[in-house]
Amino acid sequence: MTGRVQGKVALITGAAGGMGRTHAQLLAEQGADIFVTDINEAGLAETVALVKSLGVKVESALHDVADENHWQQIADQAKQAFGRVDILVNNAGIAMPRRLEDTTTQEWDLVMAINAKGPFLGCRTILPLMKEAGGSIINISSAYGIVGGPNAAAYNASKGAVRMLTKGAAIDLARYGIRVNSVHPGVIRTGMTEEYIDDPKIGEMLLSTQIQKRAAEPREVSQVVLFLASEESSFVTGAEYTADGGFTAQ
């Protein structure tokens, strides 16, 4: 049976673990060749081994998504290895639990650089590899990119920026047959969130905000990414998809 993204080339950032690894795994299971990047060398190697075991072509690179030169190196490597990119998943991001009054300028700049500047650089730098054949860009935002959350001033702002970057990019890139959409996860069990979910007080507070009173597994978000990467979403662009257990419905 032909996979839902058979023969396509997918570039996924922040793929050393968590949702990024699962995005890479699911897209590979559905037939895509994979290029994964991250700053975590050990985790990235584990992802490469997993994807390679699925029988598709895989490339990898260490990558600071806030660095413009790194992005150009990634684009050059992708062009040499695959000739094109059909799917770009801007997944890399960081969380910085801080109240507004406790957030330093340096922390603000760091969160904005990785979470907002990173997807901007990705969209702009990979565009030449997508122009000819079109494709799909999927920016991973957050439920907190739609509504506010406590102790997350910089994070909220960065993920809100991703949401609006997505809409602007969708308008600008439609002429090339490129669709651009954002995904907004809620509480997902990853290495970044486990300590909060498993904390009796914090975990109860987090899960109580969702209609479905549980944390999701990364694959539940990856299923949304797969839909947006595939031709099943051919008339979907500039949209935001929540995978948040109903948090933003309230």
Q: Hey, which residues are catalytic here?
A: 155
Name the strands in the sheet holding 9-12, side by side, starting at the edge strand that comes first in the sequence: 58-62, 33-38, 9-12, 87-90, 135-140, 178-185, 240-243
- Nearest 5°: the CA angle 186, 187, 189 is 135
List the structure tokens of 47: 């992802």
List the structure tokens of 67: 């660095």
Please, are residues 159 and 144 in contact by the beta-carbon 8 Å criterion? yes
Radius of gyration of the chain (CA): 17
- Within 77-232, strands assigned E span 87-90, 135-140, 178-185
- Within 27-90, strands assigned E span 33-38, 58-62, 87-90
Nearest residue to 218 via CA among 181, 180, 249, 187: 187
Residue with tokens 């050393």: 16
Nearest residue to 51 via CA among 38, 68, 65: 38
